Structure 1
C-alpha cells in the first residue's frame, strides 16, 4: 500500500489535545494568509514516535489551506530532547538551498498558546513509503526511489553550513565521542527509575564504543550538517515521480560527522540480516530486499561518489554499532513514554522485545567481520560502453585463466578417461584435489551475488558454533560479484565441461544454493546449504517430467500432498541433472500441492533427501551419447515419498515464485559459459587452420575459411554484448524487468556457440567428432541448452510479446 501525507492522519490522541481556538487566533495574528480563516480542523499524524505532529486545515471564505504543526510532547522530558526550535531553525536555513524541505511559517516559543513550544510549516502532498522493501513498486521504480534518496542525503551533506547561517548550529569536533556520551546519558536517564529496567549489556556496548571512537577532525570532508534521523519513511516523494520533494523530522539535526547519517540510513540492511521486525515500520526490509533495491555496497558507493568522499569500510563497523546504540537509546525513551501514557504512538509491548534485539545486534556487530567490502563496487561501470570489467574483475579473471591453464586443461584427458570407463560413476580423486587448490586460491563459489555474500558467510560460520573460522567462511563465499562482473569470469569456466564443478560453480548446484539462500529457512540452510557451499555434497533439481510438455511448467503432474506433519510425493521426473552423482544428497522437487488453486499457485518446491524411502533413480540419460558421468542426468521415480512439512520451501503455492528467482540468474550462467565454449571453439579452429595443409596450402589460406572465421568472430562479439546486457539488466532491475534481455540472450548464446563449435568440428574433420577433443562434448552441451533452458520458441514468444506490448503502448 502506498501512503500519502493525508492518509496517515487520525483523530488527535487524548494526551496530545490542542486548544484549537487559541491556535487559530495565533495563526490569524502571525501568518498573514490565515487572517481569512475562521475554523480550524485538527488531525494527528499516526506515523512517528517523537514530536507530535498535526495536520491543520484552516477553513473560511469558501476556501481552505493545509498546514503542519510540530510540537514538543507533554510531560517531563529528557534534557535537550525534542528541540523543535532547532528543527525550525534548520528548516528555515535550508529553505534557501536546493535541499527539498517544507516552507516554515512561524516558531512559537510561548507555551501558553497550546501548552508547549511549536512551529508551523507548509503541508507537502506526496508519497510516504513505510516499508523499505517497497513491495508495491516494480524493480525499476525501487532503484529510482533509492537513488533519489541517496542523492538527497548527499545534497544535504554538501550544504555549506556557514553560508546558510548554521555555522554555530552545533560543535563539529569530536562528534562521535560526544554522540556516545550524549546517548549514554539519554539511555541512563530513561532507565534511571527502573521503568523500563536498564540492560547491563547496553553498558558493555557503551564501553566498546568509548574504546573504539575513530580519529576525528572538524575540517575533514565528512563534517557538516547531519540530519540525525535520515531514513526512507522521513522522506516525501512526488505523487507520481521518483523524486524527493521534502525531507522531514529534523529534530536530531546538528553539525558533525556525516558518516553517522549514511550509516543510520543503511540500518535496514543490517537489521534485515538479523530478521528483526520493529513495532514501527521503516527500520527493516519487512518483505526482504526485493529486486531493484541496491545492495548496501552499491548504495554506499553511490553516496560516496555523489558526496565525493572516500570509501568508509575501515570505520563502518563503529558507525553501525553507534547508530544501533543511538536507536536503542531513542526507543528506550519512546518505551518510557509509552509506559507513562504520553507517547505519540499507542502502547506497544513488542517495543521491549525490539530493544533487547537491538542490543544483541549491536554487540554482534562489534564482534563481526568488516561489514563493507574493502573495495567499493563500481556503480557507474555498468553503464560503460561494452561493459568493460573493472580492474578487480580483470585480476580475478586472470587468476581463473591461470587456474585453467595450470590445472584444468592438462587434466581434462584424465578426468574424461574415467568418465568413459566402467568406473565412470565414481569421482576421480584428482577432482577433489583440484577443488582444494581452487579453495586455497580463493576461486570458490564465485557465483554468489554480492548481496548474498554476507548471508552465505553466516551460514558457513553458524554464528561461531561451526567448524569454520569467520575468515575461512568469508573466503569460501566468493568475491562478491554482480551478475555483470561474474559474466566476465563465468565465461572462462565455460571453456571446459569440467571447470565449473572444480570451483563449485556448476549447475544445478548453483541454482539450488541460490534457492536455499533466498528462500530456505535457517534450519534448511544449516542442514543443506552449508555442505553445498563447502562442496562436500552435490544436489539435483527435479522439475521436468516425461509424460507432459514441461516447457509449460503448469503441466507438471507430480503430486505433493500433505498428511499430518508430512508431505507425500508421487511422480516421475527425468533430466534430473546431478542425481547420478555419488555425492548427490538432495533433490529440490517441484510438484503440485493444490490442483484447485489458481494456475500459477498450484505448484510448490520441496526438499527431498535422495536416500529417502520411495526415491528410485531409474537410469542415466545420455546427451547425444554423452552420459556426463559421474554427474549424470537421471530419470527418477517418487513413490509415496514422505518428508517432513518443514522441508517445504517458502510455502505452498509458491513454486513459480521460487522458479522465477532461481531461473533468471541460473540460466544466464549457462549463456555466460556458452560464450567460453564458443571462444574455445574459435581457438581450436584457428590453431588447426594455421597448422593443417590441404591441397597445397594451409586451411587458413583458404578464402572460404577466412570469411567464415570473420563472420563467427562478429557473432561471438555481438552475442557476448547481449549476454552482458542481460546481466546488467538483471543487476539493475531484477528478473521481471530483465526478462526480455534474458530471453534474447538465452536464444542467441546457444545458437552462436553451436555455430562456432560446428564449424570448429568441420575444420577438424574426423578428430572433431570423437572424444579425443572437447569439441563434440561442448557441442552436445550447447545443443541441449536450446531445450534445457526453455525451448527457443518459449523465449522467442516472450520477446515478441514484449515488443508488441511496447507497440500497443505507442498507439
Structure 2
C-alpha cells in the first residue's frame, strides 16, 4: 500500500475486529516468504475509503517489520454483486504479471469466511504518496500539472490493456454497457432506500429517468471503445512515487469490469464538474470552493492529454451523459454507504454518516449540469499540437490563413507541373511499358518535398511521431535543418481543403505521397505498428521509396461484410502461415510495392468480430502470387493497378502481426475514418475539375449558331452542378470537422453521408461534363472518362452505398427512441 498521511491509519473499529491469531496462522501457511513463528502481527485500519475495509498488517520478527495490506468484504448483509474482493484479486493478478499497468502485487486470496469472518485478499505494501483531494493543496502549482499528466497516463495504460491476452476475456460483458450501468445503479439505489431504510430522493428518480432516455448508441457487434474499466478511477485511489510525478499503484478495483471506457474518464473528471462536498462531510470529489487551483490543467487540456496517450478522440455530444452517469453512480454508492452506516457496517466514519446528504447533492448537481450542458469542454479541445492562431482565425469550414497559403502553393504546383504532364503519364500507362514508373514522377516528388508539400495527410497528433521515425538520429541533423517530410500537422478539416485540390488529377496524390492505399497503411503503422515494424516499413513509406497494398477484399465472399473474409492466418511456432485469395488489392501491381497489409482470420471460433487479424507481408515472400491486374471499365490504372493475389502457405514471422490476434476489426475501424474520408475530399476535387472543363468547353464550342454556354439547357445544368458541388463540399467538410472534434464513432453518421454524397455528386457533374464534350467526353482524349470510372468504383470500393445508407438510417431511427 503506501506511506501516506498518518491520519488515514487508525485503530480498528470495535465492529470490525477479527481474530488476528487465526489470520496470522493462515498467512504463514499461504503467503510465500511470510515471516514464521515467533512473528507477531499488528493490525491497523486505513480510514480512507468507505467500501471494502482495508487494513495495514505489520508483522514483526526479531526487530524487523514487514508490511502487507489486507482488503476484505464488510460484515453484514450486502447488496448482490457488491464488494467482490475475489474480482479485485483476479484483475490485480492479471494486470500485475502481464501488463505495464501499475498495480500492487497480490499474495493470496481467501474465500473461507471462517478465517476472519469474510473473504479477503492480501497484497504488497507500496511506499508512495496518496493525495486525498484533487486540488493538490499540499503541492506548489508547478508540481500539479505533472501529477495530473501521470494520472492520465495511468488511466490510458489501463484502457490499453489487452484483456483477451491477459486472461480477462470473460471479466464482464462488453455490449450495452451504459444501459446496464444505469439499471445496475438504479437497482443498487432502490435496494438502499424504501421501507425501513432512507427515503427515496426525487432528484435521484429524475436523474435516473434522464439517463434511461439518453443512453448513447452502443454498437454491440463491433464492441468499439470497450475494454477494461476501473470503475472508481480518481486521484485518491492512486499511489504516486515518493518524489517523482509517476503513478506506482492503482488501488480499489472493486467496481472494475469490461465496458465503455469513457465512463472511467468522465468519473475521473468529476473535480471539473462538481464543487467540493465539505458541507456534506467530504472534500475528496471536487475542487475546493469549485475553483480549479493554479497549475492544474483545464478539463479540455486534461482530456487532450488522455486522448493523446490513449490514441482515442473524446466522445463529444455523449460527454454529458457520461458525466451524469458518473454522478448517479457516485450518488447510488453513497446512498448504500449511508444505509450501511445506519446498520453499523460502514467504514469511513464521518463521511459514511453524511452519505445521504452527499448522494442528494450529487443528484442535484447532475441535474443542473444536464440542464445547462455545462459539462461539455469548449470547442478548444483538439488534438495536441494544433496551432491556436490558425484555428481561432478560421470562420466556419473555411481554411485558415496558413492553410489558404498552402492551398495556393499546391494549386500553383499543380498548374505548373501536374496538369501539363498528365498526358505523358497517360501515354506510358497505356503503352507496353505501362507497369514501369515514369522518371518524371520521381522528379516531381523531389520538387514536392522541396516545397514542403509532402505527407500532408499526417494528422496533427502524429506529426511528431512520424518525424521521430524518419529522423532517428537527431544528432545527425545539420544546423538549420527543416523537416519537409512529415507534413504540416493538419486537422482533417484543414487537410480536406488540400486533398480536394490533389483530387483534381488522378496522378497528383502520389506525387505528394498522399495516395491510397499508402496513406491508410501508413496511418495503421503509425497507430498500431511496433517500433521495428515502423523502422522497416513505415520509414521508407514516409520517404516515398516504396509503396504498399491493402489486401482485404475476396472474390469468393461478399466483402462488404468483412466478417465473411475466409483467408486464414494460422500460428505455427514462431511464424504465421497465410492461405487465401484476395482481389482489388490496390497498389499490388506497382513495381515499387514491397508491403501488403493482409486481413484474415486467426481464430474461426472466436466471437464474430474477434476472429480477424492484420499482418504485414513482404511481397517477395514465397507463396505470394500476384495473378493479374483487374480493370475498371477497361482501365487497369497502370502503373499502380488493382491486383488479384493468391497466398499459398505464405510463412511470415509472428512479429509481423499488427497489434495482436483478434484486433483486425479494431485496426480497420481506426483506418476507415480519416483514410476513407480522403476519397470523399478528392471526389469533390474531381467534381470541381469537371465543372471547370465543362464551362470551358461550353464557352469555346458553338452549336446552332451560338456557343453552348448561351443555350438555356446548359445554364440550368451548370447551375445544378454548382449546387451539387457546394452541398457535397459542405457535407465532406462537416464530416471532417466532426472527425476532428469527436472521433470515428461519433462522426460515423457524418462520414457515411459524405461517402454517399461525394461520389454521387462527382458522377453527376462528370456526366454533365461528358455530355458537353460529346464524343470527346467518352474517349481517352480527355480525362473525364477515366475520372468517371474511378469515381464510380468508389461507390463500391469505399463501402457500398447501401451500407452507408443503412448506417444513416439506423442513426436517424435511433433519435426517435431517445
Q: Determine if contact 1:541/1:576 at 8 Å carries over to the other structure.
A: yes
- Pairing of 1:389-468 with structure 2 (within 5 A): 389-464=399-474
Alignment of 1:85-484 (within 5 A): 131=155, 135=159, 237=270, 243-246=273-276, 262=297, 288-292=310-314, 375-376=387-388, 378-379=390-391, 384-385=395-396, 387-464=397-474, 474-484=483-493
Are 2:499 and 1:495 equivalent residues in the alignment?
A: no
Q: Is the CA contact (8 Å cut-off) linking 2:390 and 2:402 kept in structure 1?
A: no
Q: C-alpha displacement at 1:457, in angstroms?
A: 0.6
- Aligned: 1:714 with 2:723: yes
Native 8 Å contact 1:543 1:573 kept in 2: yes
User: CA separation of 1:695/1:460 partners in 2, compared to 1, >3 Å: closer, same or farther?
Assistant: same
Match for residue 43 of structure 1 among 44, 47, 50: 47
Evaluate the alpha carbon distance shift between residue 771 and residue 190 of structure 1 in structure 2; reply closer, same or farther with a 3 A threshold: closer
Measured in 2, the distance between the counterparts of 1:661 and 1:578 equals: 20
CA contact (8 A) 1:712 1:756 kept: yes
Paired residue secondary structure (1:613): coil
Q: Distance in 2 between matches of 1:714 and 1:190?
A: 63
Over aligned residue pairs, what C-alpha RMSD do you find? 4.3
Question: In the alignment, is the contact (CA less than 8 A) between 2:9 and 2:47 conserved in 1?
Answer: no
Q: Which residue of 2 aligns with 1:665?
A: 674
Instruction: Measure, in 2, the Cα distance between the counterparts of 1:599 and 1:82.
Output: 44
Partner of 2:599, secondary structure, is strand
Residue 469 (structure 1) shift: 6.0
CA shift, 1:131, in A, is 1.4
Within the alignment, does 1:558 sit opposite 2:591 as a pair?
A: no
Quote how far apart the aligned CAs of 1:614 are: 0.3
Distance in 2 (alpha carbons) for counterparts of 1:290 and 1:409: 39
Shift of residue 769, structure 1, vs aligned partner:
1.2
- Distance in 2 (CA, whole Å) between partners of 1:640 and 1:691 is 59
Q: Is the 8 A contact 1:135 1:287 kept in 2?
A: no
Structure 1 position 134, deviation (Å): 9.1
Give the Cα separation in 1 of the matches to 2:7 and 2:707: 94
1:771-810 matched pairs, under 5 angstroms: 771-809=780-818
Contact 1:693 1:699 in 2 (8 A): yes
Deviation (angstroms), 1:375? 4.0
Determine whether 1:529 maps to 2:538: yes
- Work out the CA distance in 1 between the residues paired with 2:813 and 2:304: 39
- In structure 2, distance between residues paired with 1:373 and 1:90: 28
In the alignment, the residues of structure 1 paired with residue 295 and residue 138 of structure 2 have an alpha-carbon distance, to the nearest angstrom, of 21
Q: 1:428 to 1:87 in 2, by over 3 A?
A: closer
- Map of 1:17 onto structure 2: 9
Q: Which residue of 2 aligns with 1:646?
A: 655
In structure 2, distance between residues paired with 1:88 and 1:754: 63
Give the Å deviation of 1:372: 8.1
Aligned to 1:678: 687
User: Are the counterparts in 2 of residues 237 and 244 from structure 1 also a CA contact under 8 Å?
Assistant: yes
The separation in 2 between residues aligned to 1:494 and 1:265, in whole angstroms, is 35
| Preserved contact between residue 442 and residue 476 of structure 1 (Cα < 8 Å) | yes
Partners of 2:466 and 2:479 lie apart in 1 by 11
Q: Distance in 2 between matches of 1:793 and 1:715?
A: 21
Name the CA shift for 1:286/1:440 in 2 (closer, same or farther; >3 Å).
Answer: closer
Indicate if the aligned counterparts of 2:580 and 2:648 stay in contact, CA closer than 8 A: yes
Q: CA deviation at 1:289?
A: 2.7
* Contact residue 580 and residue 646 of structure 2 kept, 8 A: yes
Q: Is the 8 A contact 1:689 1:699 kept in 2?
A: yes
The 5 A counterparts of 1:746-757 are: 746-757=755-766
Secondary structure of the residue aligned to 2:310 is: coil
Q: Do the aligned partners of 2:308 and 2:384 also contact (CA within 8 Å) in 1?
A: no
Cα distance per residue 1:675-694 (max 9 Å; x no partner): 00000000000001111000
Structure 2 length-normalised TM? 0.59
Question: How many aligned residue pairs are there?
Answer: 531
Q: Using a 3 Å threshold, how does the CA distance of structure 1 residues 491 and 469 change in structure 2: closer, same or farther?
A: farther
The 3 A distance-change label for structure 1 pair 443 and 594 is same
| CA distance, structure 2, for counterparts of residue 372 and residue 291 of structure 1 | 11
Per-residue CA deviations over 1:368-427 (Å, capped at 9, x if unaligned) read: xxx986942655577x54x11111111111111011011101111111111111111000
Partners of 1:566 and 1:89 in 2: CA distance: 54
Q: Name the residue aligned to 1:567.
A: 576
CA distance in 2, matches of 1:631, 1:470: 38
Q: Does structure 2 conserve the Cα–Cα contact (< 8 Å) formed by 1:10 and 1:44? A: no
**Structure-2 change in CA distance of 1:560 and 1:498 (3 Å):** same
Q: Is the 8 A contact 1:235 1:246 kept in 2?
A: no
CA shift at 1:290, angstroms? 1.2
Instruction: Give the secondary-structure state (helix, strand or coil) at the position aligned to 2:548.
Output: strand
C-alpha distance in structure 2 between counterparts of 1:583 and 1:434, whole Å: 16
Alignment partners' CA distance in 2, 1:11 and 1:747: 60
Contact 1:572 1:638 in 2 (8 A): yes
Residues 403, 494 of structure 2: 8 Å contact kept: yes
Q: Hey, what's the Cα distance between the residues in 2 that align with 1:83 and 1:645?
A: 46
Unmatched tracts of structure 1, length 5 or more: 1-8, 22-40, 53-76, 92-126, 142-188, 192-231, 271-283, 295-370
- Aligned to 1:462, what secondary structure does the other structure show? coil
**Which structure 2 residue ranges, 5 or more long, are not aligned?**
14-44, 57-126, 141-150, 161-173, 179-241, 245-264, 278-282, 317-382
Paired residues of 1:580 and 1:632 also in contact (CA < 8 A): yes
Instruction: From the superposition, tell whether residues 772 and 600 of structure 1 become closer, same or farther in structure 2 (CA, over 3 Å).
Output: same
CA distance in 2, matches of 1:190, 1:676: 56
Q: Does the 8 Å CA contact 1:10/1:46 hold for their aligned counterparts?
A: no
Alignment partner, residue 741 of structure 1: 750
What is the CA–CA distance in structure 2 between the aligned matches of 1:19 and 1:405, rounded to whole Å? Answer: 81
Out of 129-138 and 770-779, give the one that drifted further: 129-138
- In structure 2, the CA distance between the partners of 1:88 and 1:234, relative to structure 1 (3 Å rule), is farther
Cα distance per residue 1:558-606 (max 9 Å; x no partner): 0000000000000000000100101000000000100000011111000
Q: 2:239 aligns to what? A: none
Alignment of 1:615 with 2:624, yes or no, is: yes
What whole-Å deviation, never above 9, does each CA across 1:334-380 have from its counterpart, x for those lacking one?
xxxxxxxxxxxxxxxxxxxxxxxxxxxxxxxxxxxxx9869426555
Contact persistence 2:586–2:643 (CA under 8 A) = yes
> Could you tell me whether the CA contact under 8 Å between 1:128 and 1:236 is conserved in 2?
no
Q: Distance in 2 between matches of 1:46 and 1:486?
A: 51
